[in-house]
Chains A and B, each alone.
Chain A
Amino acid sequence: MERRTIFPGWLLPVALVLPQLALTVVFFLWPAGQAIWSSATRTDPFGIHTRFVGVENFADLFIDPLYIDTIWRSVLFCVCVAALAMGSAMVFAVAADREIRFRGLYRILLIWPYAIAPAMAAVLWILLLHPQIGLIGRWLNRIGVAWDYKLNGFQAMLVVILASAWKEVSYNFIFLLAGLQSIPRSVIEAARMDGARGFFRFRTVVLPLLMPTVFFLLVVNLVYAAFDTFGTIWAMTSGGPGKATETLVVKVYRDGMVNQDIGSSSAQSVVLMLGVIVLTALQFRFLGRRSGGA
C-alpha cells in the first residue's frame, strides 16, 4: 500500500533518514559484513592464523544431522512461543480494554514481566519449577508427576517455552491494548447496534482494524523467539538435556563465545539471519498487503 498524497522535495527526507542510516551502516551492516567474511574463514580465536575456506563451514553445518535437528527444533520453539505469547496477550488485551473497574491496575500488573531482565526471569522460573527446590516443581513430584526438566527433554522444552513466552506476553499486551484503544468507539458501537455479537464482532470488525499491530507483533515475536530468548534458555537449561532445548541462537553463542569457533559461529549466524529475512519477507508479501505493509 502506498500513500497517495506526499510532500514534494527530496533534500529534507534524505536529511531525516540519514542519522538512522548512518548508525545502521556503522553498527549493523559493517558487523554483518564482518560476520559473513568470518563465516568463510577458519581462524583461531585470536585471529593470528586465518584461512579462507569458502563455504566449508556451511557445508559442515548442513551435513551434520544434529544441526538439521536444531533447525527443526528452533522452528518448533519459535512457533510455540509466538503463538502462546500472542494468543494470551490478545485475550488479556481484549479483557483489559473493556470498561471495567481496576482496569488501570490490571494493566500495570500485566506489564511488569517485561521489565525483568531475561536472566533474572530465568532465575525466577527456576525458583518455581526446580524439581527439588521450586515451589511448583516439588509439588508436582509430590503428586506423582515425574517432574525433572534436567532429565526429561520434553519437560525442558515446555519450561523454556513457558518462560520465554511469559516475558513476551507483556510486550504484546502493551501494543495490542494500544491498538485496541485507538479503534474509534463509534465503530464498535455501530457494529453493536447492527446486532453483531461478541466474538463475531471481534473477528469481523476489531481484528481487521487491529491487523497493522498484529502483523507488526508477529514479526517482532518471531524475531524475539529466534534471538532474544537466548538469555532465558541459557540460564535455565544451557540447551540440555541432551540437545533437547538447543535452539539455533543457543548454538551460535556456545560455538562463538564458549568454544571460540568464530568461523562456524559466524556461518550459523548467517544462516539464522537469512532464515529470518526470508520468513519476514514472506510475511510481508502475504500478510503485509492486507495490513498496511509494503
Chain B
Amino acid sequence: MNRRTMLAGAAALAAAPMVVPGARAQAAKTKIVFWHAMTGANNDEINRIARDFNAAQDAVELEPVFKGSYPETLTAAIAAWRAGQAPHVVQVFEVGTGTMLAAGPAVKQVWQLVQETGAKIDPAAYLPAVRGYYSLADGRMASMPLNSSTPVMWYNLDAFEAAGLDPAKPPQTWQEFVTVARALKDKWASKSQDLMASTSSWFTWAQLETYSAIHNVPYATKANGFEGLDTELKLNGPAQVKHIQRLLDMAKEGSFKYGGRDATPDPLFYTAKAAIGFGSSAGRADIVRNAKFRWAAAMLPYDPEIMRSPNNSIIGGASLWTMTAPNRTPAEYKAVASFLQFIGQPVQDALYHQHTGYVPVTLAGYELSRQQGYYDKNPGADIAIKSLTRGTVTENSKGLRLGGLPEIRNIIYEEFEKALQGQQNAQAALDSAVARGNVVLRAFEKMAKG
C-alpha cells in the first residue's frame, strides 16, 4: 500500500461523518426489539409481520430476533433484563405465564401499557378461551396472545375404511374411542410392525390438562391457580385417574402407543404410522404437506359418564410480554403498544392464522376468515376454534395459572413413563406426580412472595 492510497483512505474516513448527518433525519423512528422462538416457516411469518408493520407506518421500526427455543428465549430475556438490556417485547410460552406474572417491575402488563399510552386494546375483542389464559382474575389482560393452538384429534380416513369403520363418524366419546382403536389395531395396524392404532403428542397438555377442562374437573385448587399462589394440585382425581388408567390399559393391549414427549410423536400421524394422533392444531401445515392419505380433524372425545356435555379445551402456544429497562422511554412503550394493536387488527390476525395454523385470537379475525371462505376451502381448519368455544367456560377451563408448570409437566411425563413400563398404576403415578408437583408449587409461592 503506497502513500497515495493511504491518503485517499484517510480522506475517505474523514469524509464519512459528513455523510451520516443526512441519514440522521431519517432516524426519527423509534426502534423496538422483539425476541421470539419461532423456527422454520413460523420464523418467516414473524419476519413478514415485521416487514408489514414497518411498511405500514413511519414512527416505529420493529426488529424481530430469533433467540432459540422457548426456554432459551426466556432465559435470554431474563439475563438481558438483569443486565439492563431487555428487549422491548419477548415471546414467552404459555407455561411460563406464572413466572412472568410474578416478574413484578420487570414487565409492563397490557392493561398497564394501555393506561400509560392510551392505546386502543379491548380485551372483549379477543376469544374468551384465549384471552382468559393470559389475563388476571378480574379480566385485565396481562400479556398479548400471539400464537395459540389447542389439542385436536387427527385421524386417518383410509385407515378407518380399511378397518371397517365409518370415516365420517370419528369417535366422540372415550368409550367409542376404545372400541375404534381396538378395531384399528386388529384390522389395520396388524399389517406391519411399524403401525399403531393411536398415539398422542403433547401428552400432558392433551390428555390431562385439556381433559380436565373439558370434563369440568379441577386440575388444581383455587380455580387452577388463578385465584392464588397457595394452590395445590388436584390432577389425581377420579376422573383423571380413570382416563390415565384407560390409556395405560390400551397401551398394554396395544391399541395406544406412547410416542415420546411434547411434539416428538407428531411425524407418526402424517407418516401414516398411527391411525389416530392427538396433537396441536398448529400441526395442520405439516399434515397438509406430508400426508399421502385422506385425513380429517375432530374435537377431543369426552367421557359422558363424567360429563354429559363437554366444555371447551384450553390453549397452548405463547404470548407477548412487554419488558422494562432502566432507560426505556415513554415513546418506546407507545411504539410497543402500536405493534400490539397492529397484530390485533382483523386482517393481520386472519393472515397469521391462515399462514401458520394457529387459531385467530380475535373474534373479528375469525369472522373475517369465515367471510373469506377460508373454512370452506380448508375443511377442518376451524375444528380448533370450535373446540375452544364448545360448552361454557368454567373456572376449570380457563387454563392453568401454575408456577413451575414446565417442571410439573416434566414430572408427569416421568411418572407416566414409569407407569408405562409397568412400575406403577395410574393412581400411584398421579399421586406421586401431585406430591412432587406440590413441592414445586410451594417453592414457587415462597419465592414469588419474597
Q: B95-106 interface mask toward A, CB cutoff 8 Å, 1 = contact, 0 = none? A: 000010011111
Decide: A49 and B447 in contact? CB cutoff 8 A: yes
Q: Which of B115-123, B295-303, B415-423 contacts A (4 or more CB under 8 A)?
A: B415-423
**CB atoms of A150 and B194 under 8 A apart:** no
Cβ of A142 < 8 Å from any Cβ of B? Answer: yes
Which residue of chain B is the closest to A246 with respect to CB atoms? B414
The answer to whether B193 and A142 have CB atoms under 8 Å apart is: yes
B307 proximal to A (CB < 8 A): no
Cross-chain contact A150 with B99 (CB below 8 angstroms): no
Q: In whole Å, how far is A250's beta carbon from the nearest beta carbon of chain B?
A: 11
- Measured CA separation A260–B404 after assembly (Å): 8
Choose the segment among B74-82, B208-216, B339-347, B349-357 that binds chain A (4+ C-beta atoms closer than 8 Å): B74-82
A204 in the interface, Cβ–Cβ < 8 Å?
Answer: no
Interchain CB contact under 8 A, A46 and B417: no
The distance from the CB of B150 to the nearest CB of chain A, in whole angstroms, is 23
Assess whether A240 is in contact with B414, with CB atoms less than 8 Å apart.
yes
The answer to whether A257 and B72 have CB atoms under 8 Å apart is yes
Number of interface residues of B (CB under 8 A): 43
Instruction: Knowing A153-B421, A258-B407 are in contact, say whether A132-B447 is a contact too (CB < 8 A).
Output: no
Q: Are A241 and B421 in contact (CB under 8 A)?
A: yes
Measured in the bound complex, the distance between the Cα atoms of B419 and A153 in whole Å is: 12
Interface residue A158 (Cβ < 8 Å from any Cβ of B): no
When C-beta atoms are compared, the residue in chain B nearest to A126 turns out to be B264
B395-435 residues with Cβ-Cβ distance < 8 A to A are 404, 406-407, 410, 413-415, 417-418, 420-421, 423
Q: Is A243 an interface residue (CB 8 A)?
A: yes
Binds B, one of A37-45, A100-108, A172-180, A276-284: A37-45
- Could you tell me if B446 and A42 are in contact, using CB atoms closer than 8 angstroms? yes
Q: Which residues of A contact B450 (CB under 8 A)?
A: 48-49, 51
B71 in contact (CB, < 8 A) = yes
A44 to B104, CA, bound (A): 10
Q: How far is the CA of A228 from the CA of B264 in the complex (A)?
A: 23
Contact of A48 among B105, B193, B267, B414 (CB under 8 A): B105
Closest to B408 in A: A259
A151 touches B (CB below 8 Å): yes
Question: How far apart are the CA atoms of A246 and B272 in the complex, in Å?
Answer: 31
Q: Smallest CB-CB separation from A49: which chain B residue?
A: B450
- The distance from the CB of B195 to the nearest CB of chain A, in whole angstroms, is 9
Whether A43 lies near B447 (C-beta < 8 A) is: yes
Beta-carbon contact of A46 and B193 below 8 Å? no
Chain A nearest Cβ from B271, distance in angstroms? 7
Residues from chain B with a CB closer than 8 A to the CB of A255 are: 407
Would you call A48 and B75 a contact (CB within 8 A)? no
Question: Which B residue's beta carbon lies closest to that of A144?
Answer: B193
Q: Which of B5-13, B133-141, B255-263 contacts A (4 or more CB under 8 A)?
A: B255-263
Smallest CB gap from A263: residue in B: B447
Q: Contact check, A132 vs B194: say whether CB atoms are below 8 A apart.
A: yes
Min CB distance A131 to B, Å, is 8
- List residues of A (208-249) whose CB comes within 8 Å of B's CBs: 238, 240-243
Residue in contact with A46 in the complex, picked from B78, B261, B415, CB distance below 8 Å: B78
Question: CB-CB < 8 A to A49: which residues of B?
Answer: 447-450
Check B193–A141 contact: CB distance below 8 A.
Answer: yes
Given contacts A153-B421, A241-B421, A242-B417, contact A260 B264 (CB under 8 A): no
Report yes or no: A259 in contact with B417, Cβ–Cβ below 8 A: no
Q: When the two chains form their complex, are residues A257 and B71 in contact, meaning their CB atoms are under 8 A apart?
A: yes
In the complex formed, the residue of B with least CB distance to A262 is B78
A231 to B72, CA, bound (A): 13
B443 in the interface (beta carbon within 8 A):
yes
Query: In the complex, A123→B189 CA distance in Å?
Result: 27
Contacts of A47 in B (CB 8 A): 82
8 Å CB interface, A141-198 against B? 141-142, 150-153
Most B Cβ at <10 Å: residue of A45, A242, A254, A255: A45
Contact A45 B194 (CB under 8 A): no
Asked if A259 meets B82 with Cβ closer than 8 Å, knowing A142-B193, A238-B261, the reply is: no
Interface assignment of B273: CB less than 8 Å from any CB of chain A: yes
Beta-carbon contacts under 8 Å, B185-221 to A: 193-194
A240/B194 in contact, CB under 8 A: no
Contact B261 A240 (CB under 8 A): yes
When C-beta atoms are compared, the residue in chain A nearest to B102 turns out to be: A44
Decide if B268 is an interface residue (CB 8 Å cutoff): yes
> Which residues in chain B, 272-318, are within 8 Å of chain A measured between CB atoms?
273
- Distance of A240 Cα from B106 Cα, bound (Å): 34
CB within 8 Å of A: which of B55-89?
71-72, 74-75, 78, 81-82
- A242-B424 Cα distance, complex, nearest whole Å: 12
* A7 to B267 alpha-carbon distance, docked (Å): 65
- Shortest CB distance A157–B (Å): 13
B273 and A46: CB pair below 8 A?
no
CB-defined contacts of A153 to chain B, threshold 8 Å:
421
Cβ of B267: which chain A residues have Cβ within 8 Å of it? 133
In the assembly, what is the distance between CA of A261 and CA of B258, in Å?
29
Q: Which chain B residues lie closer than 8 Å to A132 at the CB level? A: 194, 268, 271, 273
- Let me know if A138 is at the binding interface, CB within 8 A: yes
A141 lies within 8 A of B421 (CB): no
Which B229-275 residues sit within 8 Å CB-CB of chain A?
258-261, 264, 267-268, 271, 273
Verify B418–A242 contact, CB threshold 8 A. yes
3 closest cross-chain pairs (CB), A and B: A49-B450, A241-B417, A259-B407
Give 6 A-B pairs besides A42-B447, A240-B417, A258-B407 with Cβ atoms closer than 8 angstroms.
Answer: A48-B105, A133-B271, A242-B417, A254-B410, A256-B75, A260-B75
7 residue pairs bridging A and B, Cβ less than 8 Å apart: A43-B447, A46-B82, A132-B194, A150-B258, A151-B421, A242-B421, A257-B74
